[in-house]
Chains A and B, each alone.
Chain A
């Protein structure tokens, strides 16, 4: 079958966005399986290799299964909101509300309260946003939602900077990373070293029923964590590392590889916690040095020579120390693993 040619324009208002829903049934990929909820369906405008689009699709579909499709999603302003709903098109196949950048957690609290007050308490509520909407501008409302133990699962898709506005530094941007506001110039190029905001640990400090981290390198793990989060009520937090080819300066096809390396280096510990205590960790089966992860990203290019040799051993040592600290803190090498 030859498909009718559909002109694709950069700004697709007035067109049919391309997606595999236009392809005959037997040639469609797994994500267009009619049995899938496809809560975030194809045709949206995320960049090629977008970790956030991948993470959101798997997380929401898992939540839809767990709630028997009785789910409402609240979205903070950001890439996920912008690429999914360019008027008059929407990629959302579940009830979806976008209010503001910093209030997703509070709006979700209101959705849950409104549903409960109108005898629809069986409908579950998810709030989602990026690291800027979660760690920075939305931290107050998020902390309030945690503290009240409102019945909301909040999912943060962390790509470690404000990507939607053009890659500016956020509270989760790692040390030494180049962004548009932490330029790779001067005596200490890139983001200054600090503690950053460790959102999972901030969430744990509220002693809420469930906190977990995941990456888009292990989608089964992500799905099972969403299912476990949906099995309990009260405030729940899921922090998903989602590489961003645009902001990280990485190749689109390296998104999964980078997410895996973030875990294998120890820079992004993958674990679960209940009521403030870590209950399980995903051990590192093949430990990797941080260089392996950093070299694939232009945001760390100033740490290496053009030939790929280490140009800034002192900064690399700082990054390796952070990774090692995580490995020790969470016991990521564990017993029985190499």
Chain B
């Protein structure tokens, strides 16, 4: 059904079509519209599920842990600080092997507090044992949620669908919402691998000492990496039923002859593809690789897609403070043994727009070999240098974020 929908509404309706048994909610921008919409669907009777208003994100994920452990299909959504507040339960859900689905409306992490989009929240849990999928647009956001429930329950692993906060969650776009019978074909009934049952009592969550911890962790690695085979298979099924598929590990765009390939995740790919189209019209051999499945990392697929590229530009909305790009590090490891130069471009932090003009400059620099190894896209060097000078001059230079904001206000007044 073709509909004009806000991203959050689209995600909520896709989740509802997957018939969750328990939906647990705690508000945080920019995911709040999703759980509000699900709450309304449950309250109106359109969705037959238990809706629990939790007292924190930590409790919200804990409620889904309990529900999943008795074999109920469980869902929640969060962002940013909420994900961090869940952190202990995030690891616990993965460690227990519970197939919970969570929508992460990607948002920056404070301090300084910032409600806008980047990928720092997703990156903070990349090692937790969750599958992490990234939607490029709202149609993919819908389709990836269908895939997420089927994937989670087949492998008994939790799945996080990353949807860029505000950019996608609050964007109104035309989307095709699948019909209930299509979703039922794509999301089979939940047959839990483990379930708390009075007629067949088991203990779940026992202490494991050094004698077996490595083996249990190794199994988690094996189980998560099975997603690399299951996702394309589920994707093929999507293509049969829906006539389209978001079920790919990576997605290439003009890779066939590309000398320079841009690698990215999420909604920024739209702008990147526009710039690439424009440069190709001018004869530049540039292409794009979107990473849909970030964890488990699709090493083989990445290597196959990028093996022929002469130069790579990784555009990422997060970085490891004290080191550098996170996705670019993964790409570099995937290309072990090759000598392809990799440029990391840190862009869109805390909701800063990623302009086509800025991306064009980056790509032109990559094409003519003048791009730096590391670029903080559109960084205001004057602002940064002023604060560095203040810190060098005065011991008691004060809070840096507030200093930068004051300097910025002064500069704007001056101009």
**Which of B51-59, B133-141, B162-170, B248-256 lies on the face that meets chain A?**
B51-59
Q: Does A36 contact B (CB under 8 A)?
A: no
**Which of A24-32, A108-116, A299-307 lies on the face that meets chain B?**
A108-116
**Inter-chain contact B70/A72, CB cutoff 8 Å:** yes
Residues of chain B with a CB closer than 8 A to A106's CB: 54-55, 58-60, 62-63, 66
* Given known A-B contacts A106-B59, A110-B65, A144-B54, A94 and B205 have beta carbons under 8 A apart: no
**Inter-chain contact B71/A118, CB cutoff 8 Å:** yes
Residues of chain A with a CB closer than 8 A to B211's CB: 13
Which B residues from 97 to 125 make CB contacts under 8 A with A? none
Q: Does B203 contact A (CB under 8 A)?
A: yes
Encoded as 1 (CB less than 8 Å from any B CB) or 0, chain A from 110 to 129 comes to 11111111101001000000
Residues of chain A with a CB closer than 8 A to B207's CB: 81-82, 85-87
**Inter-chain contact B62/A103, CB cutoff 8 Å:** yes
* Given known A-B contacts A82-B207, A96-B203, A144-B55, A113 and B198 have beta carbons under 8 A apart: no
Q: Does A266 contact B (CB under 8 A)?
A: no
* Given known A-B contacts A72-B196, A90-B203, A117-B22, A143 and B55 have beta carbons under 8 A apart: yes
**Inter-chain contact A100/B71, CB cutoff 8 Å:** no
* Given known A-B contacts A106-B54, A117-B49, A117-B72, A97 and B62 have beta carbons under 8 A apart: no
Encoded as 1 (CB less than 8 Å from any B CB) or 0, chain A from 126 to 156 comes to 0000000000000011011001101000000
Encoded as 1 (CB less than 8 Å from any A CB) or 0, chain B from 28 to 70 comes to 0000000000000000000001101111101110111111111
Encoded as 1 (CB less than 8 Å from any A CB) or 0, chain B from 1 to 21 comes to 000000000000000000001
Q: Does B24 contact A (CB under 8 A)?
A: yes
Per DSSP, chain B at the interface is mixed
Assembly CA distance A106 to B70 (angstroms): 14
Assembly CA distance A193 to B283 (angstroms): 79
Residues of chain A with a CB closer than 8 A to B66's CB: 74, 97, 99, 106-114
**Inter-chain contact B64/A103, CB cutoff 8 Å:** no
Residues of chain A with a CB closer than 8 A to B60's CB: 106
Nearest Cβ on chain B to A14's Cβ, whole angstroms? 9
Residues of chain B with a CB closer than 8 A to A96's CB: 196, 201-205
Residues of chain A with a CB closer than 8 A to B22's CB: 110, 113-114, 117
Number of interface residues of B (CB under 8 A): 44
Q: Does A197 contact B (CB under 8 A)?
A: no
Q: Does A98 contact B (CB under 8 A)?
A: yes
**Inter-chain contact B203/A110, CB cutoff 8 Å:** no
* Given known A-B contacts A93-B201, A118-B70, A141-B56, A110 and B89 have beta carbons under 8 A apart: no
Q: Does B212 contact A (CB under 8 A)?
A: yes
Residues of chain A with a CB closer than 8 A to B96's CB: 99
Q: Does A69 contact B (CB under 8 A)?
A: yes
Assembly CA distance A109 to B67 (angstroms): 8
Q: Does B209 contact A (CB under 8 A)?
A: yes
Residues of chain A with a CB closer than 8 A to B52's CB: 109-110, 113, 148, 150
**Inter-chain contact B198/A97, CB cutoff 8 Å:** no
**Inter-chain contact B198/A114, CB cutoff 8 Å:** no
Nearest Cβ on chain A to B98's Cβ, whole angstroms? 9
**Inter-chain contact A114/B62, CB cutoff 8 Å:** no
Closest residue to A152 on the B side, CB-wise? B66
Nearest Cβ on chain A to B379's Cβ, whole angstroms? 40
Encoded as 1 (CB less than 8 Å from any B CB) or 0, chain A from 61 to 91 comes to 0000000011110110000011001111010
Q: Does A275 contact B (CB under 8 A)?
A: no
Assembly CA distance A86 to B55 (angstroms): 32
Q: Does A186 contact B (CB under 8 A)?
A: no
Nearest Cβ on chain B to A67's Cβ, whole angstroms? 8
Q: Does B392 contact A (CB under 8 A)?
A: no
Assembly CA distance A81 to B204 (angstroms): 11
Assembly CA distance A140 to B62 (angstroms): 12
* Given known A-B contacts A95-B202, A107-B62, A141-B58, A120 and B70 have beta carbons under 8 A apart: yes
**Inter-chain contact A114/B55, CB cutoff 8 Å:** no
Assembly CA distance A193 to B359 (angstroms): 63
23 inter-chain pairs at a CB distance below 8 angstroms, sorted by A residue, are A72-B196, A87-B212, A88-B206, A90-B206, A93-B201, A95-B201, A107-B66, A107-B69, A110-B22, A110-B52, A111-B70, A113-B22, A113-B50, A114-B68, A116-B50, A117-B67, A117-B72, A118-B70, A118-B71, A140-B59, A143-B55, A144-B54, A144-B55
Name A residues whose Cβ lies closer than 8 Å to a Cβ of B: 13, 69-72, 74-75, 81-82, 85-88, 90, 92-100, 102-103, 105-118, 120, 123, 140-141, 143-144, 147-148, 150
Per CB-CB distance, the 6 closest pairs between chain A and chain B, nearest first, are A110-B66, A144-B55, A114-B72, A98-B205, A114-B67, A106-B62
